[in-house]
Amino acid sequence: MELSIFAVEAAVSARCSSIEAMFSENTKKSGCIEVICGSMFSGKTEELLRRLRRAKIARQTVEIFKPTIDIRYDETDVVSHDKNAIASTPVDNSANILLLSSQVDVVGIDEAQFFDEGLVEVAQQLADQGVRVVIAGLDMDFRRQPFGPMPGLCAIADSVTKVHAVCVECGRLASYSFRRVQGDQQVMLGELNEYSPLCRTCYRKCSSPPQTEEIHSTI
């Protein structure tokens, strides 16, 4: 018995709908970890905000977190150096992110270097649950040493984006955050008055102790 054209079209349509639903389900359950890292003034938060806004345009459920220690621009919002902002939830430790991230599609985390090492496992768990995790943070402190959980996050990330600032001394790409004020503690909040982005050459030059000329007296 021959099938009518309408029956064939219905069968094809049903098959396409099934494939589309399966693809949508697989996509929804496929989590990932995206890390955005670099020096201060390199645009890390700007890139984080851009990705999160795109997710919101796509009608995805987004939750954004930042450490309570970061109150430079606002106590609750994530704010870039260019004063672009988005509402967020300040948390004391990484475990709270896991508790507050139920039923979400995307989790954004800013200033990740200030969190505890547990953030690595939190990000891993969220991604395993099908959540897209977008993280921004300093990869190095002012001494050029790995900062907080960032090395571990870069290691487990599905993608790592290294962004650069511009060296204020020579105009080349800058990878380092040079501290211009006194203080040996690793965590010291500051802006352009306290930190400057520098390239490798200028960082070494600015970090070197000033040369003093020897004065030889003659008798």
- Distance (Å, whole) CA 151 – CA 146: 6
> Which pairs count as long-range contacts for 122-128, CB under 8 Å and 24+ apart, including other chains?
122/94, 122/95, 122/97, 122/98, 123/33, 123/153, 123/156, 124/33, 124/156, 125/98, 126/31, 126/97, 126/98, 126/101, 127/31, 127/32, 127/33, 127/158, 128/31
Q: Please give the backbone phi and psi of residue 71, each rounded to the nearest 5 degrees, phi first.
A: -125, 25
Q: Which of 2, 25, 111, 194 is the catalytic position?
A: 111
Active site residue 111: yes
Asked if 42 and 165 count as a contact pair (C-beta separation under 8 A), the reply is yes
Asked if 150 and 120 count as a contact pair (C-beta separation under 8 A), the reply is no
Active site residues: 111
